[in-house]
Structure 1
């Protein structure tokens, strides 16, 4: 019996490759061929239809638009980061420079300084150190809030006492600009976070308003909680920035190198949210801004 010669591959023949039989060619009707179907087969035979071409162009246009949006977002974040680092370096350098200058004056000239002058220099050193401490606490608290590590520890207290305590402890000559109108409202809230809310709102108002202009603070009971309000007679906040101003490292309509790094109002909003409340800003009648924070009461923790 004559054996067929497989050494010359031809149509439908087989040839040896590494000891295995491999098909040399698969015909159109061969069962091993994967058939094309639907629009792929039609496009292969006739080319893309007009509708398919428009759809492809639309997909490409959307992809390009999305890529452009991402690039703009990254550019905005980079600008925000650079502005924050610049402001942070300024906010750190200024009090450190003052502390060093005052400390060296006391060290080198203590024999010529009167006791009253020494006390005044020490008071100014403590004030600058408190500013640094507040800035670092803001940065730490912002990071803790982002990681869910600062749940409110509610204790029963009087909101009027908290407001008066914060304003009395402010170490600034601008404290004389503050006008209080607070009601006695018993409420279960986190005292530390509420004091930080009040402090950051008041410092923001004192910092970004004309010297000598008043800052009004009020507190009243509302809807099962307390409504805190801080008003000023400054330039106000543009309507399109009243949400962005509560984002980290954002300052709305403020000139470059203005005091602050854009953390205080972000903490105000996040502390309010941790209580189940909210913070917002609106126009004040007669000009200026009105910042408001609603804090609902909750069950007080047992000591």
Structure 2
């Protein structure tokens, strides 16, 4: 027995479907069970469309001559009719069958027994058929055989759905990863390229501050310096975000010999100069010459992000309170402001990148400040937590004075 009506193979057109069936380990077992149970010599899972009949997987014990990727003229097959009416066809003996005894397909391919069950996907899409043929008659038209074929066709359909969902998820994951890498590389380049013009504006502002200016000039200069401070903070946050997400981490330079209090006081003075109308109440409960082994630049960045956030979101007429000191074997830094409480459900999201909550229209930012502050806290082996109620919203950084640092590059200074 041979498939003399086979047409030139073009498996690449449906290679995805052939590969899908090939990945389903159960199919080879199903075809073997079909042949052993019915006594038939050829069984296949076929992809059937309006124009094509393509074998996806085959068990051929009768030299039919068709393998995976092999193709028959769809009009010459009974599967073509099954695709149209979505009903199984069962023929125990072609010679005795009143419908198919003179049908062109058995005559063309020389079989006497035939069974084909449609493979239907969840969305009612017709994929193809699970079919079997043999040159001898076979006992097929019984509930057991028909039920077995129906069960196997449903099982194959379920595997196809699962495989497609998995492939779609994997493709989406790869695309998202590529977009994420591109986005983060763009952020890194953008942040780097912004430094030069901001540095130029800062240098110009410093030169102007040494010149005699009238009140209007001093006011404009203060606005320029405030804008430079905000822009520098944004650029630092963007670059640190890119470093963290691209896998380089935050680089700590521990300065255990220099006092920390002047660094915190400088942050307060810088932000107070940006908006002199806002009151900042600072209390630092440790000696001015007390040295604590931290990265001064990073701690200043963390503090600046927290204080800037409090000034932005706090009640405009109420002071922002800040404090720092040692509690037992820990260093603690906190910032508190009055204002509308943060909902409990939102507190968990505050330290996610690009999370801005419900800001007022005049409030601007990328939503990276708290994320970067949290990463700096982790890099120092510490924690950053937020609490909020009707009295105040408070961010507290707590760091063991003697502890292992986080998974970050740490370089002691000196």
Q: TM-score range by the shorter chain?
A: 0.5 to 0.7
Tell me the SS of whatever aligns to 2:366: coil
| Aligned equivalent of 1:42, options 33, 37, 50 | 33
The runs of at least 4 aligned residues of structure 1 exceeding 6 Å deviation read 65-68
Pair 1:57–1:197, CA change in 2 (3 A): same
* Counterpart check, 1:163 vs 2:268: no
| Aligned equivalent of 1:180, options 257, 282, 295 | 282
Pair 1:40–1:268, CA change in 2 (3 A): farther
**Counterpart-to-counterpart distance in 1, 2:369 and 2:266:** 19
1:60-79 matched pairs, under 5 angstroms: 60=161
Residue number in structure 1 paired with 2:304: 199
Q: Which moved more, 1:220-229 or 1:162-171?
A: 220-229
User: 8 Å contact 2:30–2:152 — kept in the other structure?
Assistant: no
| Aligned equivalent of 1:294, options 398, 404, 411 | 398
Residue number in structure 2 paired with 1:17: none
**Counterpart-to-counterpart distance in 1, 2:34 and 2:284:** 75
Tell me the SS of whatever aligns to 1:187: coil
* Counterpart check, 1:264 vs 2:365: no
1:142-291 matched pairs, under 5 angstroms: 142-146=241-245, 147-156=247-256, 157-170=258-271, 171-173=273-275, 176-184=278-286, 186-222=291-327, 224-255=329-360, 258-284=363-389, 286-291=390-395
**Counterpart-to-counterpart distance in 2, 1:137 and 1:149:** 14
Tell me the SS of whatever aligns to 1:249: coil
| Aligned equivalent of 1:137, options 207, 229, 236 | 236
How far has the Cα of 1:167 moved from its partner?
0.3
**Counterpart-to-counterpart distance in 1, 2:166 and 2:338:** 42
User: 8 Å contact 1:238–1:253 — kept in the other structure?
Assistant: no
Residue number in structure 2 paired with 1:127: 226
Provide, for residues 188-234 of structure 1, a one-character-per-residue CA deviation record: whole Å limited to 9, x for no partner.
Answer: 00000000111110000110122111212122324633121111112
**Counterpart-to-counterpart distance in 1, 2:367 and 2:378:** 18
**Which structure's CA Rg is the greater one?**
2
How far has the Cα of 1:59 moved from its partner?
8.7
How far has the Cα of 1:50 moved from its partner?
5.5
RMSD over aligned Cα atoms: 4.2
**Counterpart-to-counterpart distance in 2, 1:245 and 1:154:** 27
User: 8 Å contact 1:166–1:199 — kept in the other structure?
Assistant: yes
Residue number in structure 1 paired with 2:132: none
Pair 1:121–1:174, CA change in 2 (3 A): closer
Q: TM-score by structure 1 length?
A: 0.63
User: 8 Å contact 1:167–1:175 — kept in the other structure?
Assistant: no
Structure 1 unaligned spans of 5+: 1-9, 12-35, 107-112
**Counterpart-to-counterpart distance in 2, 1:256 and 1:40:** 66
- Figure out how many residues of one structure are paired with residues of the other and give that number: 240
How far has the Cα of 1:52 moved from its partner?
9.2
